[in-house]
Structure 1
Amino acid sequence: MRPTLYEFAGGEPAFRALAAAHHERCLADPELNHPFSKPDQHPQHVERLAWYWAEVMGGPPRFSAECSDHSAMLRMHAGNGDISDLGRRFVACFAAAADDAGLPADPEFRAVLRSYMEWAVAEVLVYRGPPAEVPARLPVPRWSWNGLQPL
């Protein structure tokens, strides 16, 4: 049986490293720096991001259990208008952060990670208006080697 993306990546340590590397790359990006260096950012932002991505990729539901649901994540990013360029930069930082974090270089795995992030950014871009437009109680999506899984 094929391992989950979470297992293939290396489990919790891999997603902690990915979230930390991604955050550093976004801070270093001249356009992404602003949203990633807000003084009101949650002190556990990187840790929670790791939990979220781990859960999406088939890991334990820690984000759902200890933080919130997918709706909360979408609301946090809603209301920014057209941020398409930031989305492209975000995906590029994510792909480079996978290298920085030492995730497996397997081409199929990397393609699946990128397809997830492109999907996720496109979903965030749907909610350009106020956060109240985001539907309530959306579960954290699950991604597999075959893409988005039905919930």
Structure 2
Amino acid sequence: MKNVPTLYNWVGGNDALENLTRVFYDKVLKDELLHPVFKSMSAAHTKHVAHFIGEVFGGPPLYTEGDEGSHAKMVSHHIGKLLTEAQRQRWMTLLLESADEVGVADDPEFRSALVAYLEWGSRIAVINSNLTDNPLQHDAPMPQWGWGVPGGPYIPEP
């Protein structure tokens, strides 16, 4: 496929990601298992997460430049939280339910890339939540996530 779009463009850009994270965190705050972890999140948290995901998915550096964040800063938010596997799984379930609810692209290639990133990131969050020190230096590069194999969205032949 020529001109393969970024995951960021395929998902619908920043507006789509901000909508997704807003709907998702509304669910999180009503969830018995996750509420204790997120009850003190800032009002801007949903946008910061959307900007982070957007940047990882090939979008503009809204997190690193606009939110003055870094990959290390994102990791630092998880240090010492002692997240459990049950919380991680609930987080995944609610996020994927939210993606369906708001109409995030549901083609197999995009969802495969999305789930792969969320699985990877949420498992690292659990690992880091059991640390007392951030394993990343401030200048650690942002992760970059792409389509993987076969390398683009599925578009049936006419």
TM value normalised by structure 1: 0.88
Richer in helix (by share): 1
2:111 is aligned to: 110
Amino acid at match of 1:85: A
Q: Distance in 1 between matches of 2:98 and 2:20?
A: 6
Q: Give % identity.
A: 28
Pairs within 5 Å for 1:2-151: 2-38=4-40, 41-66=41-66, 67-127=68-128, 128-130=130-132, 132-137=133-138, 138-146=140-148
Amino acid at match of 1:35: V
Name structure 1 gaps, 5 residues minimum: none
Q: Distance in 2 between matches of 1:9 and 1:22?
A: 16
Name structure 2 gaps, 5 residues minimum: 150-158
Count of residues in Structure 1 that have an aligned counterpart in Structure 2? 144
Q: Deviations over 1:39-87 (max 9, x none)?
A: xx22211111111111111110110112211111111111123511111
Q: What SS does the corresponding residue of 1:98 show, helix, strand or coil?
A: helix
Amino acid at match of 2:26: E
2:153 is aligned to: none
Q: Deviations over 1:11-55 (max 9, x none)?
A: 1111111111111121122101112221xx222111111111111
CA separation of 1:82 and 1:36: change in aligned 2, threshold 3 A? closer
Instruction: Specify the structure having the higher radius of gyration (Cα).
Output: 2
Per-residue deviation, 1:134: 2.3
Q: Is 2:75–2:134's contact at 8 Å kept on the other side of the alignment?
A: no
